[in-house]
Structure 1
């Protein structure tokens, strides 16, 4: 009996000690926790509360005056609609091209910029590649429309000076996807480069000194020191890129024209058209819900692949 009493007393002391330690840590970090409150409230109000609107995917909202529950009819219509499958195919093609051509480019640029000796030149290059990230897609669309104009654009001027015929890149189905991928790379490559440069700057210099003593050259240092140190950052950026890879909207909405709808209509613009322009809110919500579920599956799959090949994951 006394033994049981002793055990209970010891457990009580452990719990009391852990509670007092938690209270001490909470009091010490109280200012930081207070600073988190606005961000948490913002997420709750603008990110999680709107999720209740996903229930509209199971109603006929937008097509009738009286809203009623219709089950999975919107999803049945979705999976039997040629327009949806065309948008889904375009989304996968454009997103895969963006991921394939964009993702390695910031890593390569960061490795090259890290080798610049002159600090001022390095900062200038960083500024030049990073500043497009602050341009809205409206501005980017206008810039590419001017550059690729069939009559006055510098690209077509060069083509015509070489004896070729002008190309209407923004309205040509054979070229428009390339324009989307190229503009995406131009606008966002600087942002990814800065992330990798920041990570490279935290690598212990002694690792490079030790590699130099061992006789390692530039390529050996990059392969065995720099790249392994970037694994966690690469895994994180890859996961974040995949998370939003299907959510391309503003870029396409600003840049596409009716003549290229068949190769550029993506799930987000398709949902926008069906919901806001055609008024079928329930069906548009079903499209958006499907997109969100596919994005979640891609993120989970990407995280598993990242853990397997890079040994890093953030989920």
Structure 2
């Protein structure tokens, strides 16, 4: 049963790492590839476009984590309070559906909803006497649109994981808390959340591991009007490597991104191990 997953990881995660050495070459422009040392890395550190993409990546990714991370926990806690098993299943199904949509579909949905001429959101704004807003071309509103679409698509997946974790909490703990006079909020903070702490830390670690790797969402939703606030590291790598053909430089940018992601994961694991006694790695 593990074999298909192992094959996938070997083909698409480990074998591509053999090409990391190209980050130290001029691969992409010459028929004969030559070693140029750290020239690509010096170039990216001196590139204003790279640092702007790095800044945008941090802002968008951190906003995704800050606003998204509590959402599935809250939804799972609300679902867990429902007494009807049928209601629980229906709600889980409805909030889980968007996770199966590709970012192309999600992007199309949000473009349609936010259209300045026929979108539902702008129709409501005009109904109350306001002027239509060009959400997808506004440097002010585009990042909130990205965060909102991320929450809408991913929230159901996270909620299902937390609901599964909540089902493992021992009922005896709630009964003991009731005997001790604990109310609903006391049970939440002293029984429920501590019981799923390891799941929360694991999910945080998984989110941080992808914090600098956002790509598809931005690629299908951004445009030239919002490059200043939406161009991220992975779209920068795509333009430099695939569109411009500068593969050595784009691999160097990708390697730098992976190193920073690794540092974030290890730092989070260290903090979790020290303060929460919940090491993941």
TM-score, with length taken from structure 2? 0.98
Gaps of 5+ in 2: none
Structure 1 residue 220 corresponds to structure 2 residue 174 = no
Report how far residue 37 of structure 1 moved: 3.8
Structure 1 residue 150 corresponds to structure 2 residue 116 = yes
Report how far residue 41 of structure 1 moved: 3.4
Structure 1 residue 131 corresponds to structure 2 residue 100 = no
Equivalence for 2:40? 74
Equivalence for 1:3? none
Equivalence for 1:57? 23
Structure 1 residue 163 corresponds to structure 2 residue 129 = yes
Q: How far apart in 2 are the matches of 1:41 and 1:154?
A: 45
Q: How far apart in 1 are the matches of 2:223 and 2:8?
A: 35
Which residue of 123, 136, 139 corresponds with 1:173?
139
Q: How far apart in 1 are the matches of 2:98 and 2:12?
A: 27
Q: How far apart in 2 are the matches of 1:120 and 1:66?
A: 65
Structure 1 residue 107 corresponds to structure 2 residue 70 = no
Equivalence for 1:192? 158
Report how far residue 216 of structure 1 moved: 1.2
Between Structure 1 and Structure 2, how many residues are aligned? 281
Report how far residue 162 of structure 1 moved: 1.2
Equivalence for 2:268? 302
Work out which of the two has the higher radius of gyration on C-alpha atoms and give 1 or 2. 1
Equivalence for 1:36? 2
Contact 1:236 / 1:313 at 8 angstroms: preserved in 2? no
Q: Deviations over 1:248-273 (max 9, x none)?
A: 00000000011001110000000000
Secondary structure, aligned partner of 2:34: coil
Equivalence for 2:252? 286
Q: How far apart in 1 are the matches of 2:156 and 2:5?
A: 26
Q: How far apart in 1 are the matches of 2:10 and 2:118?
A: 49
Gaps of 5+ in 1: 1-34
Contact 1:180 / 1:252 at 8 angstroms: preserved in 2? yes
Q: Deviations over 1:13-58 (max 9, x none)?
A: xxxxxxxxxxxxxxxxxxxxxx434433332232111101111100
Report how far residue 166 of structure 1 moved: 0.4
Q: How far apart in 2 are the matches of 1:242 and 1:195?
A: 17
Structure 1 residue 140 corresponds to structure 2 residue 106 = yes
Q: How far apart in 1 are the matches of 2:274 and 2:137?
A: 42
